[in-house]
Amino acid sequence: MSEEKKIPYKIYLSEEEMPREWYNVRADMTKKPAPLLNPGTGKPMTAEELGAVFCKELVDQELDNDTAYIPIPDEIRDFYKMYRPSPLVRAYCLEEKLQTPARIYYKFEGNNTSGSHKLNSAIAQAYYAKKQGLKGVTTETGAGQWGTALSMACAYLGLDCRVYMVKVSYEQKPFRREVMRTYGASVTPSPSELTSVGRKILAEHPGTTGSLGCAISEAVEDAVSHEGYRYVLGSVLNQVLLHQSVIGLETKIALDKYGIKPDMIIGCAGGGSNLGGLISPFMGEKLRGEADYDIVAVEPASCPSLTRGRYAYDYCDTGKVCPLAKMYTLGSGFIPSPNHAGGLRYHGMSPVLSELYDQGLMRAVSVEQTSVFEAAELFARVEGILPAPESSHAIRAAIDEALRCKETGEEKTIVFGLTGTGYFDMVAYEKYNNGEMQDYIPTDEDLKPGFDSLPAIG
Ligand SMILES: *Cc1c(COP(=O)(O)O)cnc(C)c1O
């Protein structure tokens, strides 16, 4: 035990120790993730086709299944230095509270104004847009974390940032909206009259409060119809997982410093970017046969794309303007029941994680909302950090495992990703505190319309 205590509460790295390259886990996969398909022709998207929507260098990253290490440009690394390296925290207080022999660590990504890991990819995507000489970028945001991160990155680089925000969030989360505007972004409630797809959806469903899939369609249309603009996306895509690998690389450097080998790595999974980034270097070792880890994705029981979804080609957006991706999905027609973890409500999952999951290299569990908030409160009270509801899914799973270890006496080392803070989610905490929060678990019947909406491809 005394030796144990030599591990500090927070393992910080110096700027020098920060990674200089991102790690591309696809390079070590024998069976690669399935390519994006052109919805018109059913053929893999070419770099040229993708270049109409995305920045050139990001297209190259998206399609690169072979280069293991991709240099992080100095400008991006300098921006990272404002809020990275992020600490790896030994959760001594949580261990004490749970009376578990397990050793728990978490990688905290909430230490920046946007409050989440999304800034790691936002700055990279904005940088490549700027380098290409573009005027600006468009995107969608649901709960607002991605839009906030992107607006910060664009402000830093002097790029125009146009955000389509799901209407219900625009109205219910005015603070997130105002943070984005403070960083100079223009924020439009979606569906809007600004795009033809928005006008069509409004005509068909007057009074609709919008959805992420619909906001994506609007943002893409805006980008392709304006000279000097491209679309950027905060999760799901291969390039986003690549940028987020900085999380896992730092985690590995910190653990290696103290000779710690994790048994289990846990992360919440919405589109899969934080989890994909956290596990990348560990998964690389696993793929190369150098080490083994129990890797766990945690998703809400209300939006269970890995645990109950199908592995199939699907539309990424409601308007069906985006390429098709092969992924674990509930179908683009799936409408998730209300859930306070807005960042985990997407119908599909990153093609990289989907493929790794399909190959049995990682597993997935689903957890219910009230149990997630119970874990969030316990964590906040002992560790001090007020976690985002999304992140709290990982906390729940880590606590469950630590309690299991208490039963068995196993001294497991658990690492989980704490993706962000929950200051903008106090309405959800209020519901929980008032005992008004409910669990929604879709029945097979509820999932059927989503599966029926899958295209007949692949
Ligand atoms: C967006 C978000 C997530 C989920 O997105 P992934 O792409 O699955 O990582 C998780 N936590 C926070 C705090 C988020 O903002």
Q: What is the DSSP string of 19-52?
A: -SEEE-GGGG-SSPPPPPB-TTT-SBPPHHHHHT
Same domain, residue pair 223 and 346: no
How many whole angstroms from 149 Cα to the centroid of ligand 1? Answer: 12
Average pLDDT over residues 30-40: 95
Q: Is 404 within the bounds of a domain?
A: yes
Same domain, residue pair 270 and 387: yes
**Test site for ligand 1: of 274, 418, 423, most ligand atoms within 8 A of the Cβ:** 274
Does residue 122 line the site of ligand 1, with CB under 6 A? no
Q: From the alpha carbon of 109, which atom of ligand 1 is closest? A: 13
What phi, psi does 297 have (nearest 5°)?
-95, 135
Average pLDDT over residues 2-17: 84
Q: Which residues contact 426 (CB under 8 A, 6 or more apart)?
A: none
What phi, psi does 442 have (nearest 5°)?
-65, 145
Higher pLDDT, 318 or 129: 129
Same domain, residue pair 156 and 126: yes
pLDDT digit string, tens, across residues 85-100: 999 999 999 999 999 9
Q: Is 46 within the bounds of a domain?
A: no
Does residue 195 line the site of ligand 1, with CB under 6 A? no
pLDDT digit string, tens, across residues 100-143: 999 999 999 999 999 999 999 999 999 999 999 999 999 999 88
Same domain, residue pair 312 and 408: yes
Only one residue has tokens 């669990």, namely 439
Query: To the nearest 10°, the Cα dihedral for 282, 80, 159, 214?
Result: 40
- End position of a domain, from candidates 166, 196, 231: 231
Q: Is 34 within the bounds of a domain?
A: no
Q: Is 91 within the bounds of a domain?
A: yes
Same domain, residue pair 275 and 384: yes
pLDDT higher than 60, residue 259: yes
Lowest-pLDDT range, 18-32, 156-170, 221-235, 337-351?
A: 337-351
Across all residues in the chain, what is the average pLDDT? 95
Average pLDDT over residues 199-221: 91
Nearest-CA residue for ligand 1 atom 14 is 343
Phi-psi group of 115: left, alpha or beta (phi > 0 → left; psi -120 to 50 → alpha; rest → beta): left
Q: From the alpha carbon of 145, which atom of ligand 1 is closest? A: 15
Q: Is 65 within the bounds of a domain?
A: no
Only one residue has tokens 């925000």, namely 165
Q: Is 339 within the bounds of a domain?
A: yes
Same domain, residue pair 106 and 142: no
The pLDDT of residue 5 is 57
**How far apart, in whole angstroms, are the C-alpha atoms of residue 271 and residue 343?**
8
- End position of a domain, from candidates 197, 231, 265: 231
Q: Is 32 within the bounds of a domain?
A: no
What phi, psi does 294 have (nearest 5°)?
-90, 110
Q: From the alpha carbon of 116, which atom of ligand 1 is closest? A: 13
Instruction: Count, in order, helices (H) and strands (E) of the chain.
Output: 18, 15
pLDDT digit string, tens, across residues 321-359: 889 999 999 998 887 776 777 778 888 999 999 999 999
The pLDDT of residue 4 is 53
- End position of a domain, from candidates 231, 257, 279: 231
Same domain, residue pair 306 and 212: no
Same domain, residue pair 224 and 245: no
Q: Is 374 within the bounds of a domain?
A: yes
Nearest-CA residue for ligand 1 atom 13 is 420
The pLDDT of residue 374 is 98
Same domain, residue pair 277 and 397: yes
The pLDDT of residue 10 is 95
Confidence of residue 172 (pLDDT cuts 50, 70, 90): confident
pLDDT digit string, tens, across residues 161-170: 999 999 988 9
The pLDDT of residue 280 is 98
Same domain, residue pair 283 and 199: no
Only one residue has tokens 């955000």, namely 163
How many whole angstroms from 143 Cα to the centroid of ligand 1? Answer: 10
pTM to 2 decimal places? 0.97
CATH of the domain at 372: 3.40.50.1100
Average pLDDT over residues 48-59: 96
Only one residue has tokens 């560790």, namely 383
Same domain, residue pair 310 and 424: yes
The pLDDT of residue 458 is 58
Average pLDDT over residues 367-388: 98
Structural domain span for residue 219: 52-60+118-231
**How far apart, in whole angstroms, are the C-alpha atoms of residue 166 and residue 191?**
7
Count of structural domains, the chain: 2
Percent of the chain with pLDDT over 90: 89
Chain Cα centroid distance, residue 446: 25
Average pLDDT over residues 215-233: 96
Beta 21-23 vs 69-71: how paired, if at all? antiparallel
Query: To the nearest 10°, the Cα dihedral for 337, 341, 345, 350?
Result: -150
Nearest-CA residue for ligand 1 atom 2 is 343
Asked if residues 415 and 265 have their Cβ atoms less than 8 Å apart, the reply is yes
Average pLDDT over residues 12-34: 97
Compute the half-sphere exposure of residue 223: CA atoms within 13 Å on the CB side of its CA. 30
Same domain, residue pair 338 and 193: no
The pLDDT of residue 77 is 98
